[in-house]
Amino acid sequence: MSEQAGVNPDLAGRVYPAGAAYTVGREKIREFASAVKATHPAHFDVEAARALGYTDLVAPPTFAIIVAQRADAQLIEDSDSGIDFSRVVHADQRFVHHRPIVAGDELVAELHVDQVRAMGGGAMITTRAEISTVAGEKTATTTSSILVRGEGQ
Amino acid sequence: MSVELNELTVGQDIGSRAIDVSRADLVRYAGASGDFNPIHWNGRFAEQVGLPGVIAHGMFTMGAAVQLVTDWIGNPAAVVDYQTRFTKPVLVEDVDGPGASIEVSGAIGAIDADNGTARVDLTVTAAGVKVLVKAQAVVKVW
């Protein structure tokens, strides 16, 4: 299996350890919520979030992409991954929340490369970010597939 | 509005909405998310890599589409599992004001009484074409 848009087939099974913690800020939750046109008060008003039983502002359902894509960057920037970022297309995405992400959380992500498979002249790479707090509480599992397009794809 | 699990039925409509998307929305999403891929703001670059023009971030579409579910259930943290495949790009025209419109509708796809959850299946289109496929949000129903 040599022709996979230059992607290293040995990436599968690789694990990138958690890097620096990402601190979830109130203003980032407000900014991200506005950017996805979310209007629920629990994203903007601390009292509204507390009335729902949360300690602070609640992140929108796809907020964890910020943490996951930081983890993905380790793979894409890895000099032996062979991934040409300009040829990357996002193919699928999933978020499983073990508990809501709220402002004040300090999150880290361990990145697992679950699968690399040839697709046409390109390669489909499936990664999984296990997101937890710095204290070790599981927060979210995100799964993402990217297609690295081959020539003519 | 309060949703009760035993009042839901598979196939039930949860509503629909249209989301206007402008180039400014894509710039705002790029900044908020940290995804500065130029295909989402630079038309010349997008065309050089074979796209018809600037396209929305798949994650913008995914993030905006789920608001229908969040507003229906009344709690953003109720969305415990959300997934989609990105099938077609959303082309956002370089015009004053909205350069695309994303149509979102949702229906109950499954009910899991044991876990107290319901799955909402979203239909998401732009210019009459499905842009998300297997867009499913599992919500906790209290």
pLDDT tens digits, one per residue of B31-51: 999 999 999 999 999 999 889
Q: Which residue from B13, B22, B15 is spatially nearest to B67, judged by alpha carbons?
A: B15
Res B20 pLDDT > 60: yes
Answer yes or no: do B59 and A38 touch at CB < 8 A: no
Instruction: Report residue A1's pLDDT band, with 50, 70 and 90 as the boundaries.
Output: very low
**Closest approach of B66 to chain A, Cα-based (Å):** 8
Contact B32, A34 (CB under 8 A): yes
Tell how far CA B73 is from the center of its chain.
16
Res A36 pLDDT > 80: yes
Answer yes or no: do B137 and A61 touch at CB < 8 A: yes
Chain B partners of A61 at a C-beta cutoff of 8 Å? 63, 66, 70, 76, 79, 82, 137
Q: Tell me phi and psi for residue A87, to 5 degrees.
A: -110, 10
A60: part of which helix (H) or strand (E)? none
Count of pairs with CB atoms under 8 A, one residue in A, one in B: 105
Contact B137, B81 (CB under 8 A): yes
Q: How many CA atoms lie within 13 A of B15 on its CB side?
A: 11
Question: Least CA distance to B85: which residue of chain A?
Answer: A92
Instruction: Report residue A30's pLDDT band, with 50, 70 and 90 as the boundaries.
Output: very high
pLDDT tens digits, one per residue of A86-135: 788 899 999 999 999 999 999 999 999 999 999 888 999 999 999 999 99
Q: Is B22 helix (H, G, I), strand (E, B) or coil?
A: coil
Mean pLDDT of B100-115: 97
Which residue of A38, A61, A65 is in closest CB contact with B33?
A65
Token representation of residue B64: 């905006």
Parallel, antiparallel, or unpaired for β A138-148 and A88-97?
antiparallel
Q: Residue B34 has what pLDDT?
A: 95
ipTM of the complex: 0.96
Q: Is A102 helix (H, G, I), strand (E, B) or coil?
A: strand
Q: Residue B1 has what pLDDT?
A: 55
Answer yes or no: do B62 and A52 touch at CB < 8 A: no
